[in-house]
Amino acid sequence: MTKHELDLSTPPRLAARGLRITALGGLGEIGRNMTVFEHKGKLLIVDCGVLFPEENHPGIDVILPDFSSIRHRLKDIVAVVLTHGHEDHIGAVPYLIRERGDIPIVGSKLTLAFIGAKFQEHRQNPPTVEVAEGEKRSFGPFDLEFIAVNHSIPDGLAIAIRTEAGLVLHTGDFKMDQFPLDKRITDLNAFARLGEEGVDVFLTDSTNAEVPGFTTAEKDISPAINQVFRTSPRRIVVSSFASHVHRIQQVLDAAHEHGRKVAFVGRSMVRNMGIASDLGYLNVPKGLVVDLKVLEKLPDDKMVLICTGSQGEPMAALSRMANREHIIKIGEGDTVLLASSLIPGNENAIYRVINGLIKWGANVVHKGNARVHVSGHASAGELVYCYNIVKPKNVMPVHGEWRHLVANADLAVKTGVPEENVFIVEDGVTVDLVDGKASITGRVAAGYVFVDGMAVGAASAEALTDRQKLAEDGAITILGILDTRTGTLAEPIEFFVRGFAHDDDWIRGATKAIDDAIKEANERKMLDGHALEILLARTMNRWMLRRYRRSPVFTIIVVDA
């Protein structure tokens, strides 16, 4: 298998008839999916999503792809094509539209409806192009064909991209559920037809490449959901992704069967389910869904609440319920159903929410103790099946952490793809297709761009390090008044401490460490204000690490007497 080198340089100018593929997100991570295709001076973007922050990203709302490598070429973008409506594939589109407001946005009906709601929030109105499976459209030098794929959200599409350089097939997120709730299966006939035509590069979903066999059918979890409704004595709270239409449909069907009313909780859940219902993707029996205020007047055993927060997001409804910060107070006998996957990196946050709910007496049903979720991604058996019918010349695994990408690459090799034609790369690495041959040619910037409140890109890695230090070790402000005539302190050092547990011994020790350092420094050369600032910072950092094994954030203020 071909892996990139860490010291790759800026890629050379693309060959006249070549195609360049650059992932700006989605490789080595679950989220931030964005792939840029360059051909004949034009750019086509497939997906533009966000990555949700982990515990080492304090204060960050979402993480975006890095647009810097294409910012000077915004006018060359012919379209952004969206494979489906999940946040990790559409969430960053409004931030790209901020930079050029008239980029055409291409997607299926439901996908455009979901992104359209975001455009309204951001007060944007870019042109949109609705497509469906089986259609063909051209954007600049790219001829696109849209193919139905089954996923955990309706209306998913794979994209076939035809250019003078060759044919690329991008699966998007997909699986091969043979009994989908919406009766819309992955179009393997189209995959096979493209295979006969000759697929030069196959970009394949890697998320479940480590999982043997075939992904469980969506319908197979209905018995477990019905079991929850059959046995729960009081309220049922269901938490799921706000875009997981299939799962919400199963919950609505169970609630209707067991005579319970349903209320949606959370802005994104209310909005998305309203869109899905209006477009006919969600079948809601008349009178089943009611307002939360109406639901609260019903007996506990007639209530179902469907909310967000299945990934432990601190501001989501479920987390606030676990912390007793929500209007809905979880109590003894309530049942909470976490009907979603556990995204890598969110484990601690999710289990913290589960523990909080159990503390208040709830029975928590989740993937770990019941079959209440199935993945939306193809397992190893399905990927092998696809490799065998597509017969790609080159393979570039996408959408997954490193272990997923490597596992997917291994499957490609086992089905006969030459090792040198399987490319395991990370974000920013460029793969060029020229005269039917693919090769790694360089690297462009593809770092994290943090959204911090209203600020985009202002929060740096250094700022996040400081935030972590503040959270773990606290902050100390040191005020020194310098006698410039003698190079000594005119008054004793003052300490202003926040977040660091200390006592009088700490103050005496810190004061002595500073006094000794100043005395030693003045023996060499009399201190001025700037030199004293540097000395205080260096002395306190060393002393705190040696004595307390802590590294707080220091603010040094030196005033001339």
pLDDT digits (tens, 9 = 90+) for 121-180: 999 999 999 999 999 999 999 999 999 999 989 999 999 999 999 999 999 999 999 998
| pLDDT per position as a tens digit, 316-346 | 788 888 888 888 888 899 999 988 776 666 7
* C-alpha pair distances (Å), 479 with each of 130, 476, 492, 541: 63, 10, 9, 15
Q: Note the Cα 429 to chain centre separation in Å.
A: 20
Residue found by looking up tokens 């695994």 in the block: 397
d(CA 158, CA 149): 6
| pLDDT per position as a tens digit, 395-426 | 999 999 999 999 999 999 999 999 999 999 99
CB 60 within 8 A of CB 375: no
In order of their start, the domains of the chain are 2-214+375-456 (3.60.15.10), 218-365 (3.40.50.10710), 461-560 (3.10.20.580)
Residue found by looking up tokens 């209530």 in the block: 303
d(CA 114, CA 144): 22
| pLDDT per position as a tens digit, 177-201 | 999 888 999 999 999 999 999 999 9
d(CA 345, CA 349): 9
H/E element holding 381?
Answer: helix 380-390
* Mean pLDDT, rounded, for 44-58: 81
d(CA 448, CA 327): 35
The pLDDT value recorded for residue 59 is: 62
H/E element holding 257?
Answer: helix 245-257
| pLDDT per position as a tens digit, 240-281 | 888 889 999 999 999 999 999 999 998 889 999 999 999 999
CB 3 within 8 A of CB 425: yes
Inter-residue long-range contacts of 221-225, CB under 8 Å, 24+ positions, other chains counted: 221/250, 221/371, 221/372, 221/373, 221/374, 222/250, 222/253, 222/254, 223/371, 224/365, 224/370, 224/371, 224/372, 225/250, 225/251, 225/254, 225/337, 225/339, 225/372
* Mean pLDDT, rounded, for 370-378: 83
- Local confidence band at 552 (pLDDT 50, 70, 90 cut-offs): confident
Q: Give the range among 223-227, 421-425, 467-471, 530-534 with minimum mean pLDDT.
A: 467-471
DSSP per position, 179-235: S-TTS----HHHHHHHHHH--SEEEEE-TBTTS-S-PPPGGGGHHHHHHHHHH--S-
Percent of the chain with pLDDT over 70: 93
The pLDDT value recorded for residue 278 is: 94
d(CA 327, CA 491): 53
The pLDDT value recorded for residue 266 is: 85
* C-alpha pair distances (Å), 60 with each of 29, 41, 48, 457: 17, 35, 18, 11
In this structure, what token pair is assigned to residue 365?
């049903």
Q: What is the mean pLDDT of the chain?
A: 89
Model's pTM, two decimal places? 0.84
- Local confidence band at 516 (pLDDT 50, 70, 90 cut-offs): confident
d(CA 356, CA 350): 10
- Local confidence band at 16 (pLDDT 50, 70, 90 cut-offs): very high
Query: Is the pLDDT reported for residue 34 higher than 60?
Result: yes
* Mean pLDDT, rounded, for 73-85: 97
Spatial neighbors of 77 by CB under 8 A, at least 6 apart, are: 42, 43, 44, 45, 70, 100, 103
